[in-house]
Amino acid sequence: MLPVIDELTRDRSRISLVEANHVIYELIKSGFRTRTPDSDQGERINLVRIVK
């Protein structure tokens, strides 16, 4: 689940603390989509949620 960790720990120092907090809150609340390889040599899009 490295894409999940990468997205949550991405550098947000160029935006305000309030905006950075909002971005993290939305990621935790709504989740985000990641791509993983599937058995047909394609990609599968998954919704990853931090809190259910």
Q: Are 47 and 32 in contact (CB under 8 A)?
A: yes
**By C-alpha distance, which of 33, 52, 28 is closest to 44?**
33
Parent domain of 31: 2-48
Instruction: Write down the pTM of the prediction.
Output: 0.66
Q: How many domains does one find in the chain? A: 1
Q: Can you give the pLDDT at residue 1?
A: 54
What pLDDT is attached to residue 11? Answer: 95
Q: Specify the pLDDT at position 10.
A: 92
